[in-house]
Chains A and B, each alone.
Chain A
Amino acid sequence: MSKSSPTFSKGGIHPRESKELTEHLPIEAMPPPEEVDILLLQHFGSPCRVLVDKKATVIEGETIGVVDAGLGASVHSSVSGTVKSIGASPHPVRVEAPSVTIRRDPQAEPKVFTPSEWEHFSPEELLEKIRNAGLVGLGGAGFPTHLKLSPPPGTRLDKLILNAAECEPYLNCDNRTMIEFPHEILTGARIILRILGIKECHIGIENNKQEAIWVLSRAAAESTAPDCKISVNPLMVKYPQGSEKQLIQTITGRRVPYPGLPFDVGVMVINVGTAKTIHDAVVLEKPLYERVVTISGRAIARPANLMVRIGTRLSDIVTFLGGTMDNLARIVVGGPMMGFSIPTTDLPVMKTTSGVLFLSDDEIDSRPHGPCIRCGKCVEVCSMGLSPNEVGIYVEAGRARDTAQFGVFECFECGACAFVCPAKRPLVQFTRLAKAKARK
Chain B
Amino acid sequence: MIPPAWSVSISPHLKSTESVEKIMWTVVACLIPSLILSVFVFGLRALIIAAISTASCVAVEAATQKLLKRPVTVRDGSAVITGLLLAFCIPPGVPLWMPIPGAIMAIYVAKHLLGGIGFNIFNPALIGRAFLVATFPVAMTSAWLAPIHDAAVFGSLGGIDAVSTATPLYVLKHYGMNAVIERFGAPSTLYWDFFVGWRPGCIGETSALLLTLGGLYLMLRRYISWHIPVATVLSVGFFSWVFGGEKLFTGDPVLAVLSGGVILGAFFMATDYVTSPNGNAAKLVFGAGVGALTVLIRLKGGYPEGVCYAILLMNPLSPALEGWFKPKRFAPPKGATT
Interface residues of chain A, those whose CB is within 8 Å of chain B, are 9-10, 13, 15-16, 169, 245, 249, 255-260, 328-332, 336-344, 357, 359, 363-367, 370-377, 379-380, 382-387, 389, 405-407, 410, 413, 415-416, 418-424, 426, 428-429, 432
Contact = CB atoms under 8 A, between A and B. Distances in A.
Contacts of B119: 371
Interface in B38-58: none
B329 A385 contact: yes
Interface of B: 1, 4-20, 22-23, 73, 76, 116-119, 273-274, 278-279, 326-334, 336-338
Contacts of B17: 365
Contacts of A366: 7, 9
Contacts of A405: 337-338
B9 A257 contact: no
B15 A410 contact: no
B8 A338 contact: no
B338 A428 contact: no
Contacts of B274: 373-374
A375 B273 CA distance: 5
A343 B278 contact: no
A378 B90 CA distance: 35
Contacts of A387: 278, 326-327
Given A367-B19, A423-B20, A383 B330 contact: yes
A424 B19 contact: yes
A384 B326 CA distance: 12
Given A257-B332, A371-B118, A387-B327, A336 B13 contact: yes
Contacts of B6: 328-331, 341, 343
Given A343-B4, A376-B279, A385 B330 contact: yes
A306 B7 CA distance: 25
Contacts of B19: 367, 422-424
Nearest to B120: A374
B4 to A, nearest CB: 5
Contacts of A258: 331-333
Contacts of B4: 343-344
A265 to B, nearest CB: 10
A328 B5 contact: yes
B117 A365 contact: no
B51 to A, nearest CB: 25
A370 B10 contact: no
A21 to B, nearest CB: 14
15 contacts: A328-B5, A330-B7, A336-B11, A339-B11, A341-B6, A343-B8, A359-B13, A366-B9, A370-B73, A371-B116, A374-B273, A380-B278, A386-B329, A387-B327, A419-B12
Given A15-B14, A328-B6, A374 B329 contact: no
A377 B279 CA distance: 10
Contacts of A342: 8
Interface centre among B18, B20, B279 (most CB of A within 10 A): B20
B276 to A, nearest CB: 8
3 tightest A-B CB contacts, nearest first? A376-B278, A415-B12, A365-B15
Contact of A419 (B5, B14, B76, B337): B14
A257 B334 contact: yes
A424 B11 contact: no
A45 B6 CA distance: 30
Contacts of A374: 118, 273-274, 278
B131 to A, nearest CB: 23
Contact of A382 (B12, B20, B327, B336): B327
A250 B62 CA distance: 50
Contacts of B327: 10, 379, 382, 385-387
Contacts of A413: 11
B22 A422 contact: yes
A410 B273 contact: no
Contacts of A379: 278-279, 327
B80 to A, nearest CB: 15
Contact of A245 (B5, B14, B330, B336): B330
Nearest to B7: A330
Nearest to B327: A385
A317 to B, nearest CB: 16
Nearest to B334: A257
A257 B331 contact: yes
A16 B17 CA distance: 10
Contacts of A375: 23, 273, 278
Nearest to B6: A330
Given A330-B13, A424-B19, A429-B10, A372 B331 contact: no
A277 to B, nearest CB: 25
Contacts of B8: 330, 341-343
Instruction: Name, among A260, A366, A374, A416, the residue most crowded by chain B CB atoms within 10 Å (CB to CB).
Output: A374
Contact of A364 (B13, B23, B76, B334): B13
A155 B126 CA distance: 61
A421 B11 CA distance: 13
Contacts of B11: 332, 336-341, 413, 415, 418, 428
A344 B6 CA distance: 9
Given A337-B12, A357-B13, A422-B19, 4 more contacts: A336-B11, A373-B117, A387-B327, A421-B16
B206 to A, nearest CB: 29
A143 B312 CA distance: 54
Contacts of B15: 364-365, 418-419, 421, 424
A259 B333 contact: yes
Contacts of A331: 6
A257 B12 contact: no
Contacts of B13: 330, 332, 336-337, 339, 341, 357, 359, 364
Contact of B18 (A256, A332, A422): A422
B17 to A, nearest CB: 8
B20 A422 contact: yes
A360 B33 CA distance: 39
A249 B331 CA distance: 10
Nearest to A387: B327
Residue among B16, B116, B274 having the largest count of chain A Cβ atoms under 10 Å: B16
